[in-house]
Structure 1
């Protein structure tokens, strides 16, 4: 099997770098310390009253939430300078003059940045396994969560590389990548909530009695947060409040599958648009069309 040359080169450089090793060490250390603090706080209750399975469920949810937040900050930082760094080092033209197509270059950059984060995700599986040993959480639940995180990593990486293709400087690209990711994650939910509130307000102003709550707009599925919450709901449950909220607003209880499909489709779209922008032939065609018009 022929490995993408960009992926192979980026992987060799990252593995040989001490920064990558330190990043893995720091990432696992932060989560491990959090696990130790949590279990030391419940140790007394376990020894005096016996094993409390609810603590294992809480540990799994907090662990998953903490890792999701960490990944949200790590992935854009690794992917948002993928093309900008090549442009700043003046190696982008050399890369484009090789036998690789722009699509292969973009795929290689997305794969390289995603692979580094996937290594971090897989390395935390033993920590989740602690919850599986105690009970409540199944190994299949852990694997499902890992798969969701991997898809999410590819999605955010494609956003970072997409922004990096259109922006020339690394600082601006990183800032815009974080802004776009936060908009997709949080902004979509805020917009959906605002649409619901406006709908309720219009119905109350028109004198109609609210016999049923308005359903959430389908754009809510664009936010991976909905899929993440749905995944945890189906695995361990997050309380009656979340379950009733999903059913009340017409959000599917299997939103994690919808979210995975949406993320993969959007990832493909971002990768395609980035490869089109990176293709130097498109610039020549535009330049010639301008000359013809003049």
Structure 2
């Protein structure tokens, strides 16, 4: 049986023209990305009747489209999901949901699935745009599917986080601002902490301790960049390749360890047994694990918040 909250949300979303406007803007920006990258490579003389250069263009187009797709998903999720529960509270319709036979977990899951169903529709609509880069060559079909799957998983986790935040606010406007602020922290906080700690560490001279590379691994862009490693290895620069190189360099500076700041005589040694060296945990596994723990913790707190109606809702 379909979740009743999900069924109602889907009817409300598709009943208005807002959904089609979002899909149109999403596809227009992806098509514009393909056009600009193609024109940029043409102006630099990259596009010629040469198989190697053509496959290079295909790789670059694919990674640019994937990067813009993820950026748009991270931008649209707060706007589409921030008011999921806060909107019910603002309209004073949350209390009737809480006193029904629906469990708090079912309410939250219904809101998350409603947001995800629309995002999946966006990603499915964007598949023809990615086919353009695949026809040019440069990456395998499995690499393309891995990249799209990574975006879907990141979108699920991000939607869960934003919907969970919505459970703690009373107004949609507040929830939206909080969601966009949280998204900015999710993307920027880790790299900023890594750079700040690196600057502070360099002021103490040359030593063996460097900022933990896990700070840059637990990031939506790091996850997608690392999981598409097989898609490209050479060619023109693009954002995903730059992110992938930065994460690899951060780990190399910590003796190929994600948790290099742990002392060698305690539990940190056990971490190093798992993640040291080229055969250790890849960045996308570390990133997804960190984001999953964060999303799970936030969902648990949101479920607890929905379990009992607040005083203002009674």
Q: TM-score range by the shorter chain?
A: 0.7 to 0.9
What are the ranges of 5 or more consecutive residues in structure 2 without an aligned counterpart? 234-240, 259-274
Tell me: CA distance 1:200–1:38, structure 2 relative to 1, closer, same or farther (3 Å): closer
Deviation at 1:83, TM superposition (A): 0.8
Q: How many residue pairs get matched?
A: 276
1:147-158 equivalences in 2 (<5 Å): 147-158=149-160
* Alpha-carbon distance in structure 1 between the residues aligned to 2:108 and 2:162: 11
Check if 1:271 corresponds to 2:276.
no
Deviation at 1:266, TM superposition (A): 2.2
Larger of the two Rg values belongs to structure? 1
Partner of 2:225 in structure 1?
Answer: 229
* Alpha-carbon distance in structure 1 between the residues aligned to 2:216 and 2:38: 36
Tell me: CA distance 1:248–1:229, structure 2 relative to 1, closer, same or farther (3 Å): farther
1:36-47 equivalences in 2 (<5 Å): 36-40=35-39, 42=41
1:1-294 equivalences in 2 (<5 Å): 2-40=1-39, 42=41, 48-51=48-51, 52=53, 53-202=55-204, 204=205, 209-210=206-207, 214=210, 216-237=212-233, 238=241, 242=246, 243-249=248-254, 250=256, 251=258, 254-280=282-308
TM-score relative to the length of structure 1: 0.84
| Contact persistence 2:201–2:210 (CA under 8 A) | yes
| Contact persistence 1:162–1:271 (CA under 8 A) | yes
Post-superposition CA distance 1:179-231 (Å, at most 9, x none): 112112111221122223323322x1xxxx44x57252534433223223322
* Alpha-carbon distance in structure 1 between the residues aligned to 2:42 and 2:202: 48
Partner of 1:288 in structure 2?
Answer: none
Tell me: CA distance 1:241–1:113, structure 2 relative to 1, closer, same or farther (3 Å): closer
Tell me: CA distance 1:201–1:112, structure 2 relative to 1, closer, same or farther (3 Å): same
Deviation at 1:6, TM superposition (A): 0.8
Partner of 2:237 in structure 1?
Answer: none
Post-superposition CA distance 1:43-91 (Å, at most 9, x none): 6857754342222222112111111211111011111111111111111
Tell me: CA distance 1:216–1:47, structure 2 relative to 1, closer, same or farther (3 Å): closer
What are the ranges of 5 or more consecutive residues in structure 1 without an aligned counterpart? 285-294
* Alpha-carbon distance in structure 2 between the residues aligned to 1:236 and 1:246: 20
**Which of the two has greater helix per residue?**
1
Alpha-carbon RMSD? 2.5
| Contact persistence 2:85–2:94 (CA under 8 A) | yes
* Alpha-carbon distance in structure 2 between the residues aligned to 1:165 and 1:229: 31
Aligned to 1:166, the other structure's residue is in SS state: coil
TM-score relative to the length of structure 2: 0.79
